[in-house]
Amino acid sequence: DAELITESATLKDSGVYNCTLKNEFGQEKITVKVTVIDKPEAPEGPLEVSDVKTDSVTLSWKPPKETGGIPITNYVVEKFDVKKNEWQKVSSFCRAPQYEVIGLEEGRPYKFRVSAENEQGVSVPLETEIPVVPKNPFCKFCDQNEGLNFCCFFVVILVYTVPEAPKELRLANQSSETAVLSWEPPNQDGGAKVTGYNIEMNECGSDD
């Protein structure tokens, strides 16, 4: 029997190896596929932050290019409270490359990081580039002064009115009993879709 032992193998050592056996009668070559099992690489960035609310944000990322030769079993999500200066684990079990972090405090800056995990251990983390501040999604501008939060809201008010009269009323194919009417829609619909037209008739010489 023969064996080759490497004590410092890494993921990059995975691949196909050729082994040639020789003796006085000749030689024989065999091919061996080697898979090195290790901790995964960090998730692929960027670590994106979306759906920012007063007490939560949604994080998303891409799986690592190298999983360590075995499947990813979990993603570890952590938050960093800039004011408390400490990392805290916020996920108990996360299999998908997306996670909603809840229980945040409005107006406090946070950083986030995500690590990939398999049976061999946990990767180095992927971290957000800048702090994120939870805030009201309808607030377009926020500032802080002497510990107080000031927030400006932009409100759009839509006013609905009755539409204008139709345009260019035309009479065609007139007979003793029938007539065809046509017209153009009004220039102004009052801010809402026109749902119908009322057609009325008045006989000549009638006061109604």
Q: State the 10-residue block means of pLDDT for the chain, 208 residues long.
A: 73 85 87 88 95 94 93 96 88 94 93 96 94 78 48 65 89 82 88 86 69
pLDDT for 98: 97
Q: Token pair of 189, please?
A: 């619909």
Domains of the chain: 44-135 (2.60.40.10)
Residue 179 to residue 196: CA distance in whole angstroms:
20
- Residue 104's pLDDT is 94
Side chain identity at residue 169, one-letter code: L
**What is the rounded distance in angstroms from the CA atom of residue 59 to the CA atom of residue 110?**
12
- In the three-class reduction of DSSP (H, G, I as helix; E, B as strand; rest coil), residue 24 is classed as coil
Helix (H, G, I), strand (E, B) or coil at 12: helix
Coil, strand or helix: which one is 89?
strand
Q: Are strands 26-34 and 15-23 parallel, antiparallel or unpaired?
A: antiparallel
Task: Quote the pLDDT of residue 144.
Answer: 46
DSSP designation for 132: B
pTM of the model: 0.59
> Among residues 51, 169, 44, 177, which one has the least CA distance to residue 114?
44
Number of other CB atoms surrounding residue 119 within 10 Å: 11
